[in-house]
């Protein structure tokens, strides 16, 4: 037993020693590699220190050079500053001497520069510059001149002002560049009336652009009568008289005229309610025209029947009444009156048919206009709530709808109401005529029947 335990102890000792030697081998290799890496890092650090020392010396050398240059520059700056101050004082002295010698001409110099500057600004926006652009360069030379104007400059300025006054009273036809409505440039024959307006051979009014120094065809033209007058003036051969519109404000009034909305645009501003009112107006006018034509036909037939009592025609109420009397001479008064009343009532209902509809339409139109007014004001107040009341153009849409619908409603109601009154009066006149004729026929027939009864009593 002791031998076995001894054997196991020897085996364990040998295993432990073997494991310790196996464990020691890798640790030594790691240690050696770490030492080698440390030596490499130390070498790199030494090299970098050497480089820094070399650069430090170079930087010190550059710093000394820059400090020397700084001293030189500061010295030169002081010299230049002293020279600048000396020159400034000399300049002030020269300026004073110049002003003293200039004397009264100084005011002339200022006036010439002011007049030339104002004239240049006027010429840049003048229609006359389209065929005389060289005058702008002459004015620019006079304006930018820093010395006293010469005699030629003064004469040139005076001549330019004189030519401008002459051109303001001339009507000139010439060819120049015009940009049409589609943006295509081209040379066109143009008539210019002073500095007020210009138009081409088609009567299209033109706008002058100072940037391009050319004419642009207005995208919106004024009314047709203005365009036709301009076209006729373009073809005018200096014999006789010709009328042409002139804008004395040099384009301001023309721009307001072309911004004025047309009738379709005004109707479009009214929205859906405006189109409903127009539909009512069209229907009411057609119905009124139909009823008036029908009443005219009935009245003509009645007048013809009155002129020809011996031949009753069944196409009118009086002809039917005369036919009943002629065909039934012995009918009693009560039956005759009943038949007459029936004919007159039927004719009156046909004559008055549609008049109530006209009256309703005449009442609906202003109510719809009032509805459009309320709708437009609601929209206006909504815009005011969102954006405030600072910009009136934001509220223009609602106000336009309010005013346009009101105007359309009244414009529709007035003629329809007038036509209803005319149709109603004519129908009443015709009905009264039939009633008068029927009453006369009944009285005459009663007289005839009473005469017959008296003659029969005498015979008996």
Query: Same structural domain for residues 282 and 327?
Result: yes
Reported pTM: 0.56
Query: Same structural domain for residues 282 and 249?
Result: no
Residue pair 198/218 in contact (Cβ under 8 Å)? The answer is: no
User: What is the span of the domain harbouring residue 236?
Assistant: 169-258
Per-residue confidence band for 391, with pLDDT thresholds at 50, 70 and 90: low
Per-residue model confidence (pLDDT) at position 14: 46
Give the CA distances from residue 129 to residues 24, 120, 176, 397, in Å, rounded to whole numbers and listed in that order: 107, 11, 11, 40
Per-residue model confidence (pLDDT) at position 104: 61
The CA-based dihedral angle spanning residues 328, 332, 336, 339, taken in that order and rounded to the nearest 10 degrees: -90
Share of the chain above pLDDT 70, in %: 84
Q: What is the mean pLDDT of residues 366-378?
A: 86
Per-residue model confidence (pLDDT) at position 17: 43
What is the residue whose two structure tokens read 């002081």?
78
Per-residue model confidence (pLDDT) at position 389: 64
Among residues 206, 228, 258, the one where a domain terminates is 258
Better-predicted residue by pLDDT, 260 or 86: 86
Tell me the pLDDT tens digit for each residue of 145-169: 777 777 787 788 888 888 888 888 8
Share of the chain above pLDDT 90, in %: 10
The count of other CB atoms within 10 Å of the CB of residue 105 is 12
Query: Same structural domain for residues 327 and 287?
Result: yes
Tell me the pLDDT tens digit for each residue of 177-227: 888 877 788 888 888 888 888 888 888 888 887 777 778 888 788 888 888
The CA-based dihedral angle spanning residues 210, 215, 219, 224, taken in that order and rounded to the nearest 10 degrees: 130
pLDDT at 4 over 90: no
Q: What is the mean pLDDT of residues 133-142?
A: 78
Query: Same structural domain for residues 278 and 402?
Result: yes
CA atoms within 13 A of residue 323's CA, in its CB half-sphere: 11
Per-residue confidence band for 419, with pLDDT thresholds at 50, 70 and 90: very high
Two tokens, residue 47: 């090299």
Q: What is the mean pLDDT of residues 32-41?
A: 81
The CA-based dihedral angle spanning residues 442, 448, 449, 450, taken in that order and rounded to the nearest 10 degrees: 110
Query: Same structural domain for residues 330 and 205?
Result: no
Tell me the pLDDT tens digit for each residue of 98-119: 666 666 666 777 777 788 888 8
Whether residue 383 is contained in a domain is answered as yes
Query: Same structural domain for residues 322 and 435?
Result: yes
Query: Same structural domain for residues 319 and 448?
Result: yes
Better-predicted residue by pLDDT, 297 or 457: 297
Per-residue model confidence (pLDDT) at position 3: 46
Whether residue 330 is contained in a domain is answered as yes
Of residues 202, 198, 195, 206, the one with CA closest to residue 173: 198
User: Residue 158 and residue 170: Cα distance in Å, rounded?
Assistant: 19
pLDDT at 11 over 50: no
Q: What is the mean pLDDT of residues 374-396?
A: 71
Better-predicted residue by pLDDT, 180 or 331: 180
Per-residue confidence band for 278, with pLDDT thresholds at 50, 70 and 90: very high
Lowest mean per-residue pLDDT among 2-11, 79-88, 114-123 = 2-11
Among residues 225, 258, 291, the one where a domain terminates is 258
φ and ψ of 177, to 5 deg:
-80, 130
Residue pair 164/170 in contact (Cβ under 8 Å)? The answer is: no
Per-residue model confidence (pLDDT) at position 20: 42
pLDDT at 235 over 70: yes
Per-residue confidence band for 281, with pLDDT thresholds at 50, 70 and 90: very high
Query: Got the DSSP string for 76-137?
Result: HHHHHHHHHHHHHHHHHHHHHHHHHHHTTHHHHHHHHHHHHHHHHHHHHT-GGGGS-THHHH
Better-predicted residue by pLDDT, 309 or 294: 294
Cross-strand bridge partners of residue 217 = 206
Query: Same structural domain for residues 227 and 298?
Result: no
Query: Same structural domain for residues 367 and 407?
Result: yes
Number of domains in the chain: 2
Give the CA distances from residue 373 to residues 191, 271, 278, 408, in Å, rounded to whole numbers and listed in that order: 46, 11, 16, 11
Q: What is the mean pLDDT of residues 8-14?
A: 45
The count of other CB atoms within 10 Å of the CB of residue 198 is 22
Average pLDDT along the chain? 78
Give the CA distances from residue 212 to residues 33, 61, 208, in Å, rounded to whole numbers and listed in that order: 84, 63, 9
């Amino acid at each position: 037993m002791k031998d076995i335990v001894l054997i196991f102890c020897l085996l364990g000792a040998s295993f432990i020693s073997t494991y310790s030697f196996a464990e020691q081998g890798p640790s030594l290799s790691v240690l050696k590699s770490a030492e080698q890496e440390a030596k490499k890092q130390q070498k790199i650090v030494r090299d970098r220190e050497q480089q820094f020392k070399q650069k430090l010396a170079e930087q010190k050398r550059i710093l000394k050079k820059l400090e020397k240059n700084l001293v030189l520059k500061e010295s030169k700056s002081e010299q230049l500053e002293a020279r600048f101050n000396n020159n400034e004082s000399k300049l002030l002295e020269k300026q004073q001497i110049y002003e003293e010698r200039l004397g009264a001409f100084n005011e002339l110099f200022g006036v010439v520069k002011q007049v030339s500057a104002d004239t240049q600004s006027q010429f840049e926006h003048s229609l006359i510059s389209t065929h005389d652009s060289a005058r702008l360069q002459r004015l620019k030379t006079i304006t930018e001149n820093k010395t006293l104007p010469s005699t030629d400059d003064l004469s040139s300025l005076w001549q330019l002002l004189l030519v401008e006054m002459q051109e303001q009273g001339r009507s000139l036809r010439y060819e120049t560049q015009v940009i049409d409505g589609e943006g295509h440039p081209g040379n066109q024959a143009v008539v210019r009336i002073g500095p007020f307006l210009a138009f081409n051979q088609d009567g299209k009014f033109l706008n002058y652009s100072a940037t391009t120094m050319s004419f642009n065809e207005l995208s919106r033209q004024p009314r047709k009568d203005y365009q036709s007058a301009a076209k006729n003036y373009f073809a005018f051969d200096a014999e006789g008289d010709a009328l042409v519109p002139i804008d004395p404000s040099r384009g301001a009034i023309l721009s307001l005229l072309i911004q004025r909305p047309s009738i379709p645009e005004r109707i479009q501003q009214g929205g859906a309610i405006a189109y409903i009112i127009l539909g009512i107006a069209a229907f009411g006018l057609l119905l009124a025209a139909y009823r008036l034509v029908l009443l005219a036909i009935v009245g003509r037939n009645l007048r013809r029947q009155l002129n020809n009592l011996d031949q009753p025609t069944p196409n009118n109420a009086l002809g039917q009444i005369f036919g009943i009397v002629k065909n039934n001479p012995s009918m009693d008064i009560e039956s005759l009156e009943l038949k007459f009343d029936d004919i007159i009532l039927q004719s009156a209902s046909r004559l008055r048919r549609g008049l109530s509809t006209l009256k309703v339409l005449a009442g609906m139109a202003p109510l719809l206009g009032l509805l459009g007014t309320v709708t437009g004001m609601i929209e206006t107040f909504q815009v005011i709530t969102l954006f405030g009341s600072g910009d009136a153009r934001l509220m223009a849409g609602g106000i336009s709808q309010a005013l346009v619908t009101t105007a359309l409603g009244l414009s529709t109601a007035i003629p329809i109401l007038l036509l209803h009154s005319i149709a109603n009066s004519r129908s009443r006149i015709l009905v009264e005529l039939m009633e008068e004729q029927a009453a006369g026929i009944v009285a005459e027939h009663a007289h005839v029947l009473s005469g017959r009864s008296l003659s029969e009593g005498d015979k008996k």
